[in-house]
Structure 1
Amino acid sequence: MTTSNHDHRPVAEVTARLDRLRRLVRVAFVIGGYPEAEFRRRESAALSYATSGIQIGIVRAEASPFVQGLTPAEVQLAAPSFIAAYREAEREGYDAVVPLGTLDLGVDGGRSVVDIPVIAPTEAMLHVGCLLGDRLGAVVYHDDLIPMLRAIVRRYGMEEKVVGWRSTGFDLPDISANATAMSEAFVQAARKLVREDGCDVILAMGVTQCPVLLDPAWVESEVGVPVVEGIGAPLHLAGMLASLSLRHSRSRWRRSSAVV
């Protein structure tokens, strides 16, 4: 009895797929311009999510949202720097890339200029949160940021999923110096979302609060519902997509040759 090459093809394909799943996936985390101590806090938080299958590296961008009174103008001005960082991550051989922060800086444009997954933290949090519950509650830095962050959620078509918003009352550059007060305010805000708005998942819509300064597992133990944050969730989602050899649709994000 003879055996054709065709008979062995499924075995070869399965073997190749298993090899891809077993290999170490490299995910870049893009951090903008921060004071050195603040940079190290964010770097440490990101690297803590590395596993035996996911290696995390840091790529720096020049622009930063670390300003008093952040507005959409600063967000849009930061996009070119982050898109350039995505290109740098691809040149360095990373399999996927994630920007720091729930503003999803430069993600939409980045997906048109690189061929690796560019995973948006807020978008990742929303999808992970919807797998864990039905009513999401968001805790942000300051009330002034809620309209801008709500617009980001609306852009993803998931505004109806976020049924409550609260803030801790601190502007981003002031959080580290007020870590204890912020911690108490964060837990209070999350408890109100659960008790008053019926939220069954908390989204930490500001990574400096959680997980940079607050352990999401500790917050969960305090409030009694899952807490999804914007560093670990997108990094591991990026690693999963890369390990499955999945890429963004070129039908949706046409390839651009624009120089950024």
Structure 2
Amino acid sequence: MSETRRGLRCPVRVAFVIGDYPEEEFRRRERAALAYASPEVEIGIVRTPASPFVHGLTPAEVQLAAPAFIAAFRQAEEEGYDAVVPLGTLDLGVDGGRSVVDIPVIAPTEAMLHVASFLGDRFGAIVYHDDLIPLLRPIVRRYGMEEKVVGWRATGFDLPDLSANAAVMAENFIEGARRLVREQGCDVILAMGVTQCPVLLDPAVVEREVGVPVVEGIGAPLRLAAMLAGLHLRHSRLRWRRSRAFDRPGA
């Protein structure tokens, strides 16, 4: 790895962790992530066997996925990546992972919320299905941003059904964004589900239609991860005390 004159890492290597998806679905997500690479930011893919790609996702599936994602963060660090990002706005394994590895572990929803805060004050969130709102609201609350998310909408499809209904989903997403702007004064749209946007729907298309910024959960965390790693910044060990459980042989 080379160093610039100002001591910043260049290029920065960021790992993107993708769970267990059907191969075509995996490739869609891989392409979406790699599109954010640049001469200064190298993006690599780490696969993990856990995945939220199920009908009727519940908190049980979310918590069961965490150990596999933490293992993937360890793999990324061992492979020499400077930072790591899990796919998906459920922020799978992030809190535990920060106590296990010494590279930045960037949570997509947390990154989206902070990026959106530079762009506006009233956020509108669009999810896949209404049943996911009770899962995502506590994540927003955890980051102290609940008062900024003033409206929620759903496109009406469960995750495994999105690709087969991409055209209708896109129409519903844009109409939901319009309503959030018009009816609730939202000045930023959060794509709270990366398969909707940017995997199947270009955020630039939505921005042109609704006239406000659209922040999504692949580009925002990947580029934020690269920035923190490039500046040699790490998570505070006062906040995330280093776990020794994973240092044992065979752990």
TM over 0.5: yes
1:100 matched residue in structure 2: 87
1:143 matched residue in structure 2: 130
Is the contact made by 2:126 and 2:193 (CA closer than 8 Å) also made in structure 1? yes
Equivalent of residue 210 in structure 1, options 168, 176, 197: 197
Is the contact made by 2:130 and 2:153 (CA closer than 8 Å) also made in structure 1? yes
Letter in 1 for 2:47: R
Unaligned residue ranges in structure 1 (runs of 5+): 1-15
**Backbone CA RMSD of aligned residues:** 1.0
Q: CA deviation at 1:23?
A: 1.5
1:62 aligns to 2:49 (yes or no)? yes
Unaligned residue ranges in structure 2 (runs of 5+): none
Alignment size in residue pairs: 245
Q: CA deviation at 1:20?
A: 3.3
Alignment map for 1:161-200 (pairs within 5 Å): 161-200=148-187
1:246 matched residue in structure 2: 233
CA distance in 2, matches of 1:201, 1:23: 31
Alignment map for 1:119-158 (pairs within 5 Å): 119-158=106-145
Give CA deviations for 1:188-227 in whole Å, capped at 9, x if unaligned: 0000000011000000000000000011111100110000
2:213 matched residue in structure 1: 226
Letter in 2 for 1:225: V
Letter in 2 for 1:152: I
**Structure 1 stretches of 4+ moved >4 Å:** none
Q: Percent identity?
A: 79
Equivalent of residue 35 in structure 1, options 22, 37, 46: 22
Q: CA deviation at 1:257?
A: 1.8
Give CA deviations for 1:133-153 in whole Å, capped at 9, x if unaligned: 000000000000001100100
CA distance in 2, matches of 1:63, 1:228: 25
CA distance in 2, matches of 1:217, 1:60: 28
Q: CA deviation at 1:17?
A: 6.9
1:87 matched residue in structure 2: 74
